[in-house]
Structure 1
Amino acid sequence: MSELSVQTLINLFEHQQYLLTENFNEVKIILAANSYKEVDAQTFDASLVFINARDKVQVSVIIGDNDPIDYYSPDSVSDFLLNLTKAMAQREEEPIKVIISILKKQEAGCISIYSLNHFQSFLEGLSLHNLLSQFNEFLQNTSYILLENQVTGAEIRTASIWLVNKNNNTIPAVIDRSKIISLAQTAGHSNLFAEFQLVPDDFILESNTRSGLEDIFNRLAIIGSLAYLFDIFAVENSALQYKLNGYKSIQGAVDFSEIKADKGHQYELIYHWVYNSGNFNDKIGLARNIISLHLTPSGNITLSGSPYSSLFSAYKVYEKENIKQYISVRNSLSDQLLNFHDRANSLTESFAGNLQKSGLALISFYISVVILKVLSKDNLINVFTFDTSVFSSVILLCSFIFFWFSRWELIEQKKRFSGHYFDLRRRYLDLLDTQDIDRILNNNREFLQDMDFIKAKLRRYSCMWLTFLILLFLTTWFLFLWYRE
């Protein structure tokens, strides 16, 4: 145990009693004695070997009301012991007080632990708010904490806080805590979100190793999970206030000391399930419903039964209902996609039909001109007089205007077709994610094919119709000029 190493330092001095405390920053030992035994420099140095190189030692010996005789590492041990021997030679039955301080230095997230039992007592003596503040302060500097036990013992690990033995060469992975906190803030309110950058993963143990600290971490894991699962959760000193809106609306208050570690780790399991993957809003709502049904009436946030198992069963039913809705929405989108395909065909058919009707009218006009000429003169000479040529040109001009208007109308309808398609995509974003919509719509492949089809039809019919009009116009005036000569 680590106390044995500290004990070697304590045993350097005669003492009737001593007090040992340890926190994150310091180990402090206060000894009371009525006598003194001499210590040689070699023994004194040997008693300091267990102290980590990054930490410093301070020893103060106070005889009665006299000034202290101090040693600061790495000062000369011999000078300190010489001064101490001289002072003891002049002592007249005064009480002796020895204060030994090991001043810890945090280095790359690593902090020495010399007496795990006393460090545990320090943590247990803090209010919940101060306890969270201590961990938060160190995690602000680095994304993890390594509590390095200076004598081999049991190890425990969470996602960001490890109790390890000396010469550990690995560090915890970085938690994306900002993402977790942002999600929690969208679904609930807690003063922990504003004051601390702590998440439940900081305290959820990865194994059940017995080290002495597991009870504190298990209780803190419950507190963290509650803050991230309940609608409202507030901490003031060690008092907790909470509110949960589920199938039942529950609110109450409890003291941190009343919270017991949950052997089934139900809150932690539910927290991981809600925050790890899937639709967060759906999961947090379902979790609150199930938790509200399993909270005991005692008011100490204890869960009865196995809400985590119930949550899985409820989610399976929920998924089945969602799958039915999903299939319905997917089929609806597919049907509307077919409608868009039909609309694309309708647009081009309408444009082509208008041109065909106009073409038939022109051909009918020219045929009637020829027939009337044959019936009146029994020949095809001088079919197009000046009046007929002018009238034909006017007809051709009207046909061109009609063609241009039909073409403009198709272009406008094409724009509306494109706008309606993308409006449809946006409407379904409330029901499906982007990847689902892209998959159903084949990454817009059919839409792009329809747009290319309309564009190709427009280009081909435009070229054909303009060629048709130009040929009729040139033929009309060529025949007029030919027979005029």
Structure 2
Amino acid sequence: MNSIDSQILKNYLDSCKEKDLFKELNISEDFDECKIKIRLLSIEQFLININSDIYKHLFSAVFSLKDHIDTIKININDNVETLESFNTLEEVSIFNYQFDRSDKEGSLEIIISKVSNEYTTIYFLDNFIEFLNNTSNISFIFELFEKHNNKFKIFSEQNFLVKTNSFYFASAQNFDPLVVFENKNADKLKKINENCHFGNAASIKFLPEDFYHYFNNSFPNQNFKNLFERLSLALILRVFSDVSEFDSNKLTYKMFGYKTIKHEYNFMSLNTKSLNDYYQSYNDLFFDNSNFIDKIGLARNVISLHTINQDFTNIKGDIYSSIKSNYNIYLKENIKKYIDLKNKITDKLFTISSSFDNLVDDFSKSFKSSFYTLATIFLSLILLRLIKGSTSTIPIFTFEVYVFLISVLFAMYLYKKYILFELSHKKDRIFEQYEQLKNQYISLLDKSDLNELLMYENFKEKNNKYISTQTEQYSKYWNKTLLVYFISFTFLTICA
């Protein structure tokens, strides 16, 4: 038997049932285990013949199906307790019945426990999907997918491959445990939640693309296809709705477009015929990562006009083309206003940037003014000394004059410190004006668009570095100038 084909095992079990070897067959599977339960006509007859060819074939098939990481347990039960238990094929083969069981009905229970931390095995895909559909709680389905592995190794299909943004399902013979997923876009989820109220936002973190896969007409498992299409559409409709909530198996959506639409759906009967149209529209919202607020508003208007009987799943026409056309018209009608607005912001940003240049210029002028003042005093004393000549008995560089000159130098130093203090406060004030500019237009432009326009990532850092570099350079020149004059005044006074 092919070790990766559970359908052959299923067919074999069905044939045994038809031959009245079994009374009843039940297969169930969830994320944690796969359970095959067979109703026996006679426990004693089963145990007597447990090593017969037909049962050897059955147990061999079960153990060959099991993934090498998973564990298996075989129980023989009556209506009260487990009578016999086996963990390996060898234990079954060496079992010797002692004729100590009464001839009554019981059950053969085969439990395969899934223990891998890297992936989840699925032996009977239809039964696994049936388990999900029978939970009757869409929130619980999302919780299960959040809790368990996002890679699934499937034994029940020969040619199966589905890869979404977060999940990977593949036939055992094609399964790649090293497959890599795209990172979930937390910014996208945040943007969605900022523009609609979702009652389950705290517990459901999935995006439509986590369950969206383009299924062609030859897709091998219709139950899987239907489940994932319903999950994806449920998440897409919550994006386009202003208000939505998932409560058990009930989905509630409310949209405020040109018309207000409210509708409730049963998750199991959600019509997905418009899924691809909706998904194209959803994908376009984030195509260029800008103007999201405008796009979602236009989309809601278009959808509200295209729904029939206030049913989001009953759409007339092509909503994707309508949304795209309306958005293009919107851009053409508003392009001049948009350009004028961007030019206005650019002008204000230029004015703010110029303010930083003015701060450096003012500091430079203060330095030059200080330099000219000291130069004038020094040159005046030198000139006076030359005019009086060597015949004068009255010295120019006296101690009193020296004290006066040192006082002037100290005053110049304090003046520099005050200028730096004032410059720091003016710089902070300009940064406040920059933040005010951003807050003023944040409601008119998309956040990412505004950040790009304002160079938000490096504006502060760039200008702060420019101010610090320039003021530090002029401050060093200022200090050196004061030091040169101090040495000159001291030398001339001593020499006098």
| TM-score after normalising by structure 1 | 0.72
Which one of the candidate residues 230, 251, 272 is aligned to 1:219?
230
Q: Does the alignment pair 1:164 with 2:170?
A: yes
Q: Does the alignment pair 1:137 with 2:144?
A: yes
Separation in 1 of the partners of 2:71 and 2:402? 101
Q: Does the alignment pair 1:47 with 2:47?
A: no
| Pair 1:471–1:216, CA change in 2 (3 A) | same
Identity between Structure 1 and Structure 2 (%): 14
| Counterpart AA for 2:416 | L
What does 1:234-253 correspond to in 2, within 5 Å? 234-245=245-256, 250-253=261-264
Aligned residues of 1:69 and 1:80 also touching (Cα < 8 A): no
> For residue 329 of structure 1, what is the aligned residue in structure 2?
345
Unaligned runs of 5+ in 2: 439-449
| Pair 1:66–1:139, CA change in 2 (3 A) | closer
Which one of the candidate residues 394, 399, 411 is aligned to 1:384?
394
Per-residue CA shift, 1:23-62, capped at 9, x if unaligned? 313344555869x897862321222344333353646586
Aligned residues of 1:294 and 1:304 also touching (Cα < 8 A): no
Q: Does the alignment pair 1:420 with 2:436?
A: no
SS in 1 for 2:289: coil
Which 10-residue stretch deviates more, 119-128 or 178-187? 178-187
| Counterpart AA for 1:56 | I
Separation in 1 of the partners of 2:221 and 2:154? 13
| Pair 1:382–1:56, CA change in 2 (3 A) | closer
Per-residue CA shift, 1:217-246, capped at 9, x if unaligned? 011011123345544322112112233456
Deviation of 1:72 (Å): 4.0
> For residue 34 of structure 2, what is the aligned residue in structure 1?
26
> For residue 12 of structure 2, what is the aligned residue in structure 1?
8
Q: Does the alignment pair 1:432 with 2:432?
A: no
> For residue 303 of structure 2, what is the aligned residue in structure 1?
294
Aligned residues of 2:364 and 2:474 also touching (Cα < 8 A): yes
Aligned residues of 2:431 and 2:460 also touching (Cα < 8 A): no
SS in 1 for 2:312: coil
What does 1:49-448 correspond to in 2, within 5 Å? 49-51=60-62, 52-53=65-66, 54=70, 56=72, 58=74, 60=76, 72-74=86-88, 76-77=91-92, 100-108=109-117, 110-129=119-138, 132-134=139-141, 136-137=143-144, 139-142=146-149, 144-171=150-177, 172-173=179-180, 176=183, 179=186, 185-196=193-204, 198-205=206-213, 207-208=215-216, 209-212=219-222, 213-228=224-239, 230-245=241-256, 250-272=261-283, 278=289, 282-283=291-292, 286-295=295-304, 296-302=307-313, 305-309=317-321, 314=327, 317=331, 325-326=341-342, 328-353=344-369, 355-357=371-373, 359-360=375-376, 381-384=391-394, 394=400, 397-421=403-427, 423-425=429-431, 427-428=433-434, 430=438, 432=451, 438=458, 446-448=466-468
Structure possessing the higher radius of gyration over alpha carbons: 1
Per-residue CA shift, 1:401-433, capped at 9, x if unaligned? 344323322332234324433553465354536
Separation in 2 of the partners of 1:450 and 1:247? 56
Unaligned runs of 5+ in 1: 374-378, 479-485
| Pair 1:341–1:73, CA change in 2 (3 A) | closer
| Counterpart AA for 2:143 | N
SS in 1 for 2:254: strand
SS in 1 for 2:202: helix
| Counterpart AA for 2:331 | V
Aligned residues of 1:23 and 1:119 also touching (Cα < 8 A): yes
SS in 1 for 2:458: helix
Deviation of 1:384 (Å): 0.9
Separation in 1 of the partners of 2:77 and 2:384? 131
Separation in 1 of the partners of 2:283 and 2:196? 16
Aligned residues of 1:2 and 1:115 also touching (Cα < 8 A): yes
| Counterpart AA for 1:140 | K
Per-residue CA shift, 1:241-271, capped at 9, x if unaligned? 2334566654443322442114552444455
Separation in 2 of the partners of 1:80 and 1:292? 72
| Pair 1:349–1:288, CA change in 2 (3 A) | closer
Separation in 2 of the partners of 1:118 and 1:186? 38
Aligned residues of 1:337 and 1:441 also touching (Cα < 8 A): no
Aligned residues of 2:255 and 2:261 also touching (Cα < 8 A): yes
SS in 1 for 2:478: helix
Separation in 2 of the partners of 1:411 and 1:67? 91
Aligned residues of 2:160 and 2:220 also touching (Cα < 8 A): yes
| TM-score after normalising by structure 2 | 0.71
Per-residue CA shift, 1:287-315, capped at 9, x if unaligned? 24413431315333235555545656638
Per-residue CA shift, 1:174-230, capped at 9, x if unaligned? 565593665655554434333445443432225543421111101101112334554
| Counterpart AA for 1:149 | F
How many residues align? The count is 453
| Pair 1:169–1:160, CA change in 2 (3 A) | same
Superposition CA RMSD, Å: 4.6
SS in 2 for 1:12: helix
